[in-house]
Amino acid sequence: MNILIVEDEEPAAERLKKMLLELEPGAIIPESIVSIKTAVEYFNKGNKPDLIFMDIHLADGNSFEIFDLTEVSAPVIFTTAYDEYAIKAFKVNSVEYLMKPVKKEELQNAVAKFRKYFEKKEQLPDLTKLVEALRDPQSQYKKRFLIRFGEHIKAIDIEQVAYFYTEDKINFVKTKDNHTYHIEYNLDRLEQILDPEKFFRINRQFIIGIDSIDQMFSFSKSRVKINLKPPIALDTIVSTERSPLFKDWLGGKD
C-alpha cells in the first residue's frame, strides 16, 4: 500500500510511520504532510494514495478544510482527540478513527478494516455527512478564513470581510480596512458557507456583505448599481435575475 500521513506533530508522525511499517513492511510512506496548504497542493497534483491517516487539527486549521478545497478519493483514517459527541458522529457515519496516542492493536484493526475496501471495492464512507454531523448547528457558517501569502498565514474574521470577488479567474477577499487577499474558495463554494443574512451574491463576479454597501442607484432593466466600501473599480451591478432576490434580502425577507 501507498500510505499518506497528514500530521503536523513530527514525533506523532514518526511514531505512526514506524508502527505502520511494522504492520505493513512493504508499505510506501512518503514524507508526512503537515498543513492544509501542502495537502491541497499534493492532491491537486493528482496524487492518489491507497490509504490516508489524517490528524484533524493541523497548524493552519481544521483538516476538514482539505475536503472543501480539493478532491480526496482515498479512504481516510482520522486521528483525533475529540470528545464523546464527536466520536458518536464518526461511528454513525462509518468512518474509522483512532484516538491519540494511537495504540498498535487499534491501528492494526483499522488497517485490516480498510483492506476490505481494497479487496472488495466497497463504496467509501460519505465524508460530507461526517463533516455536517460534526458542525454545531449554531455555527454552520464560516467564521474566519486562513489567508496565505508567501510563507505567511493570516486569519481573517468574517466580521472583517467587506466582500468577495473574482477577477481574471482569481478569487479575492476585500476587508473593511481596504486590504485585498487571494482566497482559495471560489464564489460557488463561498455561497454555501457564508451566512445568507449577511452576504449576497449580486452577480457572477461579486458576493457582497450588507455592511459593504455605500450607495445604491436604479439602473437599466430593473437592475441596481451599488457603490461599495471600500470602493473598487470593477462594475458592481446586481444582475437582472438576481435583482428581485436582492431587494428581498435588503428588506430582511427569507
CATH number of the domain located at residue range(s) 142-250 in this protein: 2.40.50.40
Mean pLDDT calculated for residue range 61-77? 83
pLDDT over 60 (residue 68): yes
Question: What would the pLDDT profile of 7-55 be if each residue is shown by its tens digit?
Answer: 988 889 999 999 999 999 999 999 999 999 999 999 999 998 989 999 8
C-beta of residue 225 within 8 angstroms of C-beta of residue 203: no
Mean pLDDT calculated for residue range 129-135? 60
Class in CATH terms, 3-134: alpha beta
* Domain map (residue ranges) of the chain: 3-134, 142-250
Question: What would the pLDDT profile of 11-23 be if each residue is shown by its tens digit?
Answer: 899 999 999 999 9
Identify which of 105, 108, 80, 111 has the alpha carbon closest to the alpha carbon of residue 3.
111
109 or 120: which carries more pLDDT confidence?
109
**Claim: this prediction has a pTM higher than 0.85:** no
CB atoms within 10 A of CB 60: 17
Cα end-to-end span (Å), the chain: 51
Preceding omega of 101 cis (within 30 degrees of 0) = yes
In degrees and rounded to multiples of 5, residue 64 shows phi and psi of -65, -20
